A and B are shown apart, each in its own frame.
Chain A
């Protein structure tokens, strides 16, 4: 009975990580009186909300065998664009719509370049990451964009049923993407395409067209995160979202997605996001200097990948071919 329940649970989530998360949460709650309060729960959720939203898109991209490094830059550009549109008196709805369209088109451009150049997504999105952030700096000349209308602040600061609006939005998006990946025919192709694109192509799946979709979703979610950031701070600044891609990728990988594609789920990613959000908050509560943050994220990323590979090797006894993990392929 219990083993059956555990097995059922392990299908949906990463049990090891769940145990670590619960352990960390318990230790923090006992050790720090300010940790387990309603106020701090809101701080935890809102401190990581941009990464959480972007992680949903990154999950789909990583399952499909790709990666998107440009999300941090898209976040910046979108926060600046929505500010400029609002200042141009385009109205809140139209500004948001235009910003999301432009963000999505950056994702589209990523996918087209990956398809046409047959280059590794790492490299292509590394290029757009630099170019887009540079463009954000060029249009603002490094100055912050300020002076947004009051009505716009709802998206980052408003409450719905006593829950911050961005958190509600994240929960809705997570449920929607979970259902799409698990229960629709079109989206569940992602697992097949990610684990074996060649075979998927032979089965008649349009891998190139599917790639458009994954990168457009990723970039549009980054655009959404940018709009929320702009609304939260009532300003937009070209230094938003630095290293965001690192935190997002870490969350997705820690959750249990595999960089070689085909493995991962929204549920696992949500757990990874919750874990990192708690770690980030715990470091602040424990008074760890902020400089340690970079060290923590970098080592967690590497350690989680190493552990994943180690257990896979223990389970299957098969080491990857060199070709499969070096950048060659595609």
Chain B
């Protein structure tokens, strides 16, 4: 008797968790889409869904982290474009070897994020306006560098990063999953990352507790930039080029996914696995639209609507708590 009571309590507690709710919702969406179109549950389609969500997933991790800090980063998409252009240009011209080019590219992405963080923390300016400016600046920089042309003719060894497969699974997918697992573990257990929670929940209080809020914010934004840089390397390698229009609107999808996954704009809350499920859900819905031959333009409407719905549910969630 008590056993059944306890297990029912456990079940209801599990159902309260954002991750479990999301998982069930995703399963329902999968069931609906696979009933509507036979093409969904095929190996090649699932592979393309997994590959397509990889970039969003990596970017969304960094976005989740700055959301936990109580900020947001609109410049991730432009960061992808600029980092990709710089990395591919270096390799195309043969100035440096492939690993060095990647290293420089990742440093650029880290520095872009760090500049965001420094301006935000040093001058106490709303992250929104700073990253909006950086979004325009970095995208403009990518266009200035290439005059809008593709950067192609990249070395074969670089292309292998995005195209290699291990047991039929594309390498970027495996790398993204590994990053999720490691980042989730570090966020929960490593003091330096875990600080984001008290800082986001109440920064002034965190400062009183002796946490260096400035440093946490700067490093948080730099980390977010670095994640965008990693996504850029995979994207350029997979598509075999650098292009100034890469990563357009990825910030919207990343924000939507992170908020669906339980992050809030008021900071102090967010979950890596929640974000993972949010990205998965968005990817499956968008894939469903493509498979069902719906106009590609509906995707924009759906992405915007999902963002608003996610905010609405996030607000209800926090009110109940």
Contacts and interface: CB of A to CB of B under 8 A. Distances in A.
Interface string A264-305: 000000000000000000000000010111111111011001
B297 A302 contact: no
Contacts of B304: 127-132, 134
Which residue, of A122, A132, A141, A313, has the highest number of chain B Cβ atoms within 10 A?
A122
A302 B144 CA distance: 19
A323 B205 CA distance: 10
Interface of B: 69-72, 119-120, 123-130, 132-141, 143-144, 147-148, 202-204, 207, 213, 249, 252, 255, 265-267, 295, 297-305, 307-308, 311-312, 315
Contacts of B132: 246, 249, 298, 301
Interface string A93-117: 0000000000000000000010001
A316 to B, nearest CB: 12
Contacts of B249: 130
Which residue, of A119, A289, A320, has the highest number of chain B Cβ atoms within 10 A?
A119
B126 A327 contact: yes
B309 to A, nearest CB: 9
Contacts of A309: 123-125
A113 to B, nearest CB: 7
A126 interface: yes
Contacts of A259: 125-126, 129
22 contacts: A67-B128, A130-B300, A131-B303, A134-B297, A134-B298, A138-B301, A142-B297, A260-B126, A291-B143, A292-B140, A294-B137, A294-B140, A294-B143, A295-B144, A298-B135, A301-B133, A302-B133, A302-B137, A305-B129, A310-B123, A323-B202, A327-B70
Interface in A45-101: 67
Contacts, number: 166
Nearest to A243: B136
A322 B127 CA distance: 11
Nearest to A300: B133
A328 B137 contact: no
Nearest to A133: B300
B127 A327 contact: yes
Contact of B136 (A122, A128, A298): A298
A37 to B, nearest CB: 29
A25 interface: no
A326 B133 contact: no
B124 A325 contact: yes
Contacts of B311: 117, 119, 123-124, 127
